[in-house]
Amino acid sequence: MTRLADTPEPPYFAVIFTSLSNQADTADYARTAQHMLELAQRQPGYLGVEETRDDDGVGITVSYWRSLEAIAAWKNHADHLDAQRLGRERWYNAFRLRIARVERATAWSAPDSSDT
Amino acid sequence: MTRLADTPEPPYFAVIFTSLSNQADTADYARTAQHMLELAQRQPGYLGVEETRDDDGVGITVSYWRSLEAIAAWKNHADHLDAQRLGRERWYNAFRLRIARVERATAWSAPDSSDT
């Protein structure tokens, strides 16, 4: 799977979700996170996602969307609301959620690389 | 060190840098990355940074800035230009760089957590 997102020309929107996991209940977390990724990809206006998490439990997920309306619809999807509740109840010590309008973007690949 | 950034009320700007490391030369990379973080923190208009990288070499660094002018000045800082060149020559297989205007932000901490 490609880990860097190939997004269209700006403008579009980004949801920057940075979190500190409590590193408990990791199997359930991983299953839900995977389900959310797959579900997000089927939402109208979805453009891509990039995510990573280190061994200290610091995770960053950036998802890209065509419009604020698409973000609002995804935020209020029933399964996603459940996952958000579980996140607060069981998985996160803290998080930050920021919604931003992407104004400019650059993509680069090494000349001798098969890219992502 | 706090791993999630406490940023002021929007609007402000985010530089979303997502990269795929070639996982070579990691000591030099780590040293330069640390130097860049420390240098960024001393730039005018710097608001905070969040970053993480997983074992596959997928890294996301989001830095927050007061203005596009602050981002442009940091981009063109001499030491940073050197690091950008080294990144392309030695450390990355691919990257994406996006500049975005943060419109909305939420911070959350677990009630029983000492936060970040």
What are B44-74's pLDDT values in tens digits? 999 999 999 999 999 999 999 999 999 999 9
* Beta carbons within 8 Å of A7's beta carbon, 6+ residues apart: A47, A48, A64, A102, A105, B96, B98
Which ipTM was obtained for this model?
Answer: 0.94
Chain A residue numbers touching B62 (CB-CB < 8 A): 16, 18, 60, 62
Q: What is the mean pLDDT of chain B?
A: 94
Task: Tell me the pTM.
Answer: 0.95
Predicted pLDDT of residue B32: 95
Q: Are B105 and B5 in contact (CB under 8 A)?
A: no
- Tell me: pLDDT of B22 over 90: yes
> What average pLDDT does the segment A41-66 reach?
97
Q: Do A60 and B58 touch (CB under 8 A)?
A: no
- Residue A69's H or E segment, with its range, is helix A68-75
Predicted pLDDT of residue A112: 74
Q: Do B16 and A16 touch (CB under 8 A)?
A: yes
Predicted pLDDT of residue A114: 60
Q: What string of DSSP letters covers B14-80?
A: EEEEEEEE---SHHHHHHHHHHHHHHHHTSTTEEEEEEEE-TTSEEEEEEEES-HHHHHHHHT-HHH
**Domain A19-102 is found in CATH 3.30.70.100:** yes
Chain B residues 2-21 with CB within 8 Å of chain A: 3-5, 7, 10, 14, 16, 18-20
- Residue A40's H or E segment, with its range, is helix A26-41
Highest CATH level, class, for B12-102: alpha beta
Q: Which of A52, A100, A108 has its CB closest to that of B52?
A: A52
Of the given ranges (A33-37, A76-80, B16-20, B109-113), which has the lowest mean pLDDT?
Answer: B109-113
CA-to-CA dists, residue B74 to A115, B17, B41, B65, B68, angstroms: 27, 14, 10, 10, 10
Model confidence band, residue B90 (pLDDT cutoffs 50, 70, 90): very high
Predicted pLDDT of residue B114: 61
A78 touches chain B (CB under 8 A): no
- Tell me: pLDDT of B113 over 80: no
Q: Which of B20, B22, B60 has its CB closest to that of A60?
A: B60
Predicted pLDDT of residue B108: 97
Predicted pLDDT of residue B13: 98
Cα dihedral across residues A96, A16, B77, B44: positive or negative:
negative
Model confidence band, residue B14 (pLDDT cutoffs 50, 70, 90): very high
Predicted pLDDT of residue A47: 98
Q: Do A56 and B3 touch (CB under 8 A)?
A: yes
CA A60 distance to own-chain centroid: 7
Whole-angstrom Cα distance, residue A63 to residue A17? 8
Chain B residue numbers touching A3 (CB-CB < 8 A): 20, 56, 58
> What average pLDDT does the segment B22-48 reach?
94
Joined tokens for residue B111: 């009630």
